[in-house]
Structure 1
Amino acid sequence: MNTASMNAWNLVFLGLLLTFGQLSWGQKGMDFPEYDGKDRVHDLNAKNYKSVMKKYDVMVVYYHEHVGSSKVAQKQFQIEELLAAQVLEDLDDEDIGIGLLDEKKDKAVAKKLGLDEADSIYIFIEDEVIEYDGELAADTLVEFLYDVIEDPVEIIDNVRELKGFHNIEEDIKLVGFFKSQKSEHYQEYEDAAEEFHPHIKFFATFNPKVAKSLDLKLNEVDFYEPFMDEPVVIPGKPYSEKELVAFIEDNDRPTLRKMQPYNMYEIWEDALDGEHIIAFAEEGDPDGFEFLEIVKEVAEDNTDNPDLSIVWIDPDDFPLLVPYWEKTFDIDLSSPQIGVVEVDDADSIWFDMDDDDDDMPTVDELEDWLEDCHAEDTDVHTSADAFDTKGATISHRYCKFVSVILLWVFFFFLIFASLF
């Protein structure tokens, strides 16, 4: 995983505090969270890492670059630890801790834990290690942690739960019908689910009526691509864990997938021949919704084409990046756009959306354009890399400036508020 620099991580801690602070302020006035003396943020080292990690059901480990020896760097790091401790007070019931590993001082510990990339976030739960490939934002990280602590398989037992299953369309999902939770075939399914949790949704039912409505036979598993109504029946039932894992790995790049805050780096790095087909569309906007339906139809028509993979980005999910994308790609995101982008240097070419024509492109027009793009090399140069996966999507200098200023301003604000 290529996450943001340490300065962007600072913004996570600050953002978490501000997020929970805003919730508490709205309910209790200017009632700041106070550090309750519980050590939830730990500097991990060779002597303590085993004992510390045993204390928590979930351990979030930030493998960070070495902290400099200057007083400013040290003080800033101390403030980050205090802010993180205050934030985790709100998550105390979930038994989640944060461990900090220094790339220079704790390289041996990182190696023992299997961490090989600095400036990365790893989540340890039971016997699994989950890499976080998402946006460094408060709500995104907390929501991801809540997903992590959920069971890897969700059971469908009634009509209401079945409706909830059908309402999930943005994620890869699987559903299987088994005799009971004690069934050996269900155990294999559950073991496979743990390998992909929480990135892929796994469902199961033991209810024959629910299975009938899903057209599932006993010990059978259906695989649903995002935005596809009809599933693919995984062949060869009953399955072993190994067979299920192999099938999913062979089919984990959907024809159409949505980039979301929790998976943005993972998706961006998973490009076809170094390129992405990007569709920008606001689902809540009438034009965006109409265009998205056209893109979905293109995907459905080409679901068996291994050379077609479209990434849908809703600009509303990434408001701070909209000006950056518009400048980088020279496009207007107030209206839908679709283009082909090279991952390494952000060279791109975009479908000509005629501003004077209110009509959206037809499915055939869009398919023809994509075929033409695939047949030719993309050779439109842009000014910068729109997705810097080795750092923050906003420049490191900007992150550093903002994080330092906000951390110190908020720190002194806390001191000032405590005087009254």
Structure 2
Amino acid sequence: MQNINTYIYSRIDTLEEAIKEAWKRKFYQEHWGHKSLDDVINIVRSYKYHTLPVTRKHDLRDNWDNIMCFDGAIDVVSSSGTTGRPVDIPVHKEEENVRVEAIERWLHALGVNTGDKVLILLSMNDLFTLGVLSWQAVKKRNACAIRCSVNRVDRILQIIEHLKPKYVIGNAGPMIRLAEEAGDRWPGHDLLPKKALLGASAVFDQDLNPTPALKKLKELWGFDDYLNTYGSSEIGAVSDECSYHQGLHIHTDHQMIELIDLKNGLPLEDNNQPGELVITGLNLPRGFIPIRYATGDIVAWIKHESCPCGQITPRMGPIIGRVDHQLKISGQTVFPDLLLSLADESTGVMRSAVQVKSEKYGEDEVTLLLVIDDNFNKKEVKNNVISRLDKNLSISPKVNVISSINLLTLEKKASKNTNQVKIPRIFDFRKGI
């Protein structure tokens, strides 16, 4: 397997250009801790790029004036704010062109072409980026973009009936909720879009199996094919799902990626192991130049071997958690995403979430919340989930059954200070968080 350092240093000339531009911003001069740009370039040429400290979202918030550049900016986008106050990012014209082109690749891979009608169920407001980029990319392909808020059930039903879109772009969670809220009015599969482009959440697990959310989405929407994408407001599109569903192919012409160890922060020797995704942006100019930007997302793996689909770019696995979502139960580290996965895969569980509060002596009080289908025995379903937790974890959290209405109340409370693009599934009520 190709070593990640070999992959990074194959782009060293482009990397040096990005570093030279980043050096012009006061933050990086102080953050890197070197006296001159030449010192930093020498570090890169000495195969020690990994010794430059990573940059994190809190660095962007705390040093905003010294890291962002508005000269030439034509748009502002924002992080989702699901793990703290959103960060606003200026986007330059050339940078936006790159971002749109990356989304256009995604559309092309699923066959979007001239005259096709595409229903876009992603937010066009509140500085969210994927919806706006998708809207532009659809039009670049000479297809017809149909924009509608995923919360407008009646309007969407009208669009499906009268305009008959062939494609839909959206987030699996809100799309599931849309179909469930429509109830008996939800159209049959023959009337729904035939293909789906899915963003903002993973649709396969580390073994490339469909997630419970994807299975439910396909059951409700009945589409023939789909593709997932991964990216962030800070970076833009990072990778698109392989047409053979063998992972997410990385846009290596736009950025370089690393996986770092969750404990020591060093590059992983074995990229078949989970690690935190670190990204360096290569295209210039841009409002924020990400140099070793630690996303906080934990990626299952990166593969460099050839892919059955014919593409030669590396593939990354799904996001399986976040470094800032690590919880402590009786001294043991537990990732909420694992709890949610075990719950979602259990028969009778309609929805699940994780609630975290502070215990008296500094531990996390973790509760797995379950919404159980009325057609199932709630006690039996709960006990089955508890059994699955006990088999997969050395220490298990509490498990409570909750009504769908009460879960919706928690979701609204948790998303109050975000741009409400994603449905929150982790409710962190610890003091100081």
Structure 2 length as normaliser, TM-score? 0.24
- Please identify which structure carries the higher strand content: 2
- Larger RCO, structures 1/2 (Cα 8 Å, 6+ apart): 1
- Please identify which structure carries the higher helix content: 1
Higher gyration radius (CA): 1
Structure 1 length as normaliser, TM-score? 0.24
